Structures are given as structure tokens and as C-alpha cells.
């Protein structure tokens, strides 16, 4: 899947995506790593079709790391930035995504248009005639294939997950933090966890930053790390946790100042 070559039109340099470095790198990486085989492949027990790529966001974050400065320090894009750019790519209908327990399943929309040699030929109609029939017949076949692709893409969209990428990312973050305290913690149903986090956002009006903060806070807290071992429990105790965070902030003036500095440093506005 990762060997060999793939093609891309020179028109990419005139496309608006070219001016967005992060979004371009994400899309170009997914396009280059996507399955090329017509028959697809099997990966982690999942059948990946042509134009699909399976990768966790944290691994994708590592894949997109870059070197900067005289010391060639390795830097990574924040997960929130990667999530935002992926959402933008989805909105532009360049890709679709589906969360699985093994990572995010990316599908390049109209992959055949990127990797079909005929789409890059500038020959005349006469040059496109061959033993398979006239140019008109070939165009008719191409239109038929395009319609079939459109139907499949529409069907894929209808089957998309009931939660966003950010929900699965937060679910993975909670699991990662739990396993730092207990490496033998059993494998949960991450899709159920992501769905619970979606409910926190949509029904309880919690922000992604609030949820992320409380995940990290609870799993570093002597009492709460053993009492919030799932998103449903985090949701249930959310208001209680907020109150305790506020109480601990107000213990001393220095603690409040330190917290505000940390909040400013990481750019978050937790809203509580």
C-alpha cells in the first residue's frame, strides 16, 4: 500500500488548497497513502477499498512532524489543528472519514479521478479512439462509471459515523491517560465512548477544550482517576468536577495566577 508511485495533476498548484500548508500536507499524505489496488486490501481485520487509508490521528500527527530551526527541532501540529483541517477537507468534499477502534478510516473522494491516467490526457478526440470503441462510446462509459462512483460516495456518506473525529480523539485521549495509571486496563468500546463524548458536546453544551481539560485533570487526581474511568462517568460528574476545579484554583492566589498563565500558554479558553 505504501510502495510505488502515485500521480497528481499540476492543477494542484492553482488550487486554493496549495496556499494552506497544513491542509495540503494532510490531504497529499492521505492521497499518497491510500490503497491503489482495485481489489483493496485487508488491514487490522478491516477491508480497505481503493482510495481508503486507515490511521489513528496520533499516528498521523507523528507522520506529519517536521524539523524547524537551527537545531532541527522536531515539531508536531496540535491535534486540534489536524482535526480542524480534516473537517475542512470533509466540508470541501475532498475526503470522508469514519472512526473505527483501530483509527480513522479516510476515503479520498473521487480517488479514481486523481489516479486515472485518462483524466490527465490532453489528446484530441481522434487520438482517444481505440479498439474498445469510439470516443463517444468511451465517454458514455466514463459517465456511467462516474455515476456509479457518485452513488457509492453518497451511500458512504449516509453510513458515516454518528460522532465527530474530535469525539473519538478525546475517547482515545481518555484511554491513553487511564493506561498511564493502569497499563492493564481492558479494551473499552471506543465507539460507545465517542458517542458519550458527542452527547456531552451536543446535549450538555460542553466544549472540546473543557472535556480535554477534565480528562487530563481527573486522571492526574488521586481520587478522581479511579472514579472517572469512562466518558459516561465523566459526563455524570461533570458539574461536580467543575466545582472542585474552581475550589482548587481558589485555594491560593498563586495557584490562580499559575493556572491563568498555563491557560494562556496553551491557548485554551476552558469556559469554567
Do 15 and 116 lie in a common domain? yes
Residue 239 C-beta-side C-alpha neighbours within 13 Å = 3
CATH code, domain carrying 59: 1.10.10.10
Do 17 and 74 lie in a common domain? yes
What pLDDT sits at residue 235?
94
In a domain, 242, yes or no: yes
3-state secondary structure of 56: coil
Burial of 198 (C-beta count, 10 Å sphere; 0-12/13-18/19+) = buried
For residue range 176-231, list pLDDT tens digits in order: 999 999 999 989 998 899 999 999 999 999 999 999 999 999 999 999 999 999 99
In a domain, 130, yes or no: no
What pLDDT sits at residue 130?
44
| Whether 26 contacts 77, CB under 8 Å | no
Q: What are the residues facing 133 on neighbouring strands?
A: 130
**Distances from the Cα of 249 to the Cα of 75, 225, 246, 258, angstroms:** 31, 19, 5, 9
| Whether 219 contacts 175, CB under 8 Å | no
In a domain, 126, yes or no: no
More confident: 53 or 125 = 53
* pLDDT cut 90: percent of the chain above it: 43
| Whether 248 contacts 204, CB under 8 Å | no
Q: Predicted confidence band at 110 (pLDDT cuts at 50, 70, 90)? A: confident
What pLDDT sits at residue 127?
40
What pLDDT sits at residue 131?
39
In a domain, 150, yes or no: no
Helix (H) or strand (E) run with residue 188 in it = none
Q: What's the whole-number mean pLDDT along residues 40-67?
A: 91
Would you tell me how many other CB atoms lie within 10 Å of the CB of residue 80?
15
- Which domain range does residue 50 map to? 10-120
Do 33 and 89 lie in a common domain? yes
Out of 63, 94, 120, a domain closes at: 120
In a domain, 107, yes or no: yes
Do 110 and 30 lie in a common domain? yes
Q: DSSP character for 103? A: E
Q: What's the whole-number mean pLDDT along residues 69-88?
A: 88
Out of 120, 152, 174, a domain closes at: 120
What pLDDT sits at residue 250?
83
What pLDDT sits at residue 270?
61
In a domain, 105, yes or no: yes
Do 116 and 21 lie in a common domain? yes
Number of domains present in the structure of the chain: 2
Do 18 and 93 lie in a common domain? yes
Please determine, for residue 48, whether its predicted confidence score (pLDDT) is greater than 70: yes
Q: What's the whole-number mean pLDDT along residues 110-137?
A: 53
Which one, of 234, 233, 255, lies nearest residue 246 by Cα?
A: 255
Do 110 and 17 lie in a common domain? yes
In a domain, 271, yes or no: no
Do 116 and 195 lie in a common domain? no
Q: DSSP character for 15? A: S
d(CA 94, CA 27): 8
Out of 83, 101, 120, a domain closes at: 120
3-state secondary structure of 189: coil
Show the cell assigned to 31: 492521497
What pLDDT sits at residue 265?
56
Task: Please state the pTM of the whole predicted model.
Answer: 0.48
What pLDDT sits at residue 134?
47
In a domain, 23, yes or no: yes
Amino acid at each position: 500500500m505504501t510502495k510505488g508511485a502515485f500521480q497528481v495533476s499540476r492543477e494542484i498548484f492553482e488550487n486554493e488548497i496549495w496556499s494552506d500548508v497544513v491542509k495540503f500536507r494532510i490531504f497529499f499524505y492521505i492521497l499518497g497513502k491510500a490503497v491503489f489496488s482495485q481489489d483493496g486490501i485487508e488491514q487490522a481485520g478491516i477491508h480497505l477499498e481503493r482510495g481508503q487509508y486507515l490511521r489513528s490521528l496520533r499516528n498521523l500527527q507523528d507522520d506529519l512532524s517536521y524539523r524547524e530551526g537551527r537545531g532541527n527541532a522536531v515539531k508536531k501540529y496540535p491535534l486540534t489543528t489536524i482535526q480542524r483541517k480534516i473537517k475542512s477537507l470533509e466540508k470541501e468534499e475532498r475526503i470522508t472519514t469514519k472512526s473505527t477502534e483501530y483509527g480513522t478510516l479516510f476515503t479520498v473522494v473521487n480517488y479514481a479521478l486523481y489516479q486515472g491516467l485518462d483524466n490527465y490526457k490532453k489528446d484530441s478526440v481522434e487520438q482517444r479512439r481505440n479498439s474498445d470503441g469510439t470516443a463517444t462510446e468511451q465517454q458514455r462509459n466514463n459517465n456511467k462509471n462516474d455515476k456509479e462512483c457518485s452513488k457509492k460516495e453518497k451511500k458512504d456518506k449516509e453510513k458515516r459515523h454518528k460522532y465527530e473525529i474530535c469525539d473519538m480523539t478525546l475517547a482515545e485521549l481518555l484511554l491513553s491517560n487511564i493506561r498511564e495509571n493502569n497499563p492493564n486496563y481492558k479494551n473499552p468500546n471506543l465507539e460507545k465512548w465517542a458517542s458519550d463524548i458527542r452527547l456531552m458536546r451536543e446535549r450538555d453544551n460542553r466544549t472540546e477544550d473543557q472535556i480535554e481539560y477534565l480528562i487530563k485533570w481527573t486522571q492526574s487526581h488521586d481520587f478522581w482517576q479511579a472514579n472517572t474511568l469512562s466518558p459516561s462517568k465523566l459526563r455524570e460528574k461533570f458539574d461536580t468536577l467543575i466545582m472542585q476545579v474552581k475550589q482548587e484554583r481558589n485555594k491560593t492566589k498563586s495557584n490562580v495566577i499559575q493556572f491563568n498563565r498555563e491557560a494562556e500558554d496553551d491557548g485554551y479558553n476552558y469556559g469554567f
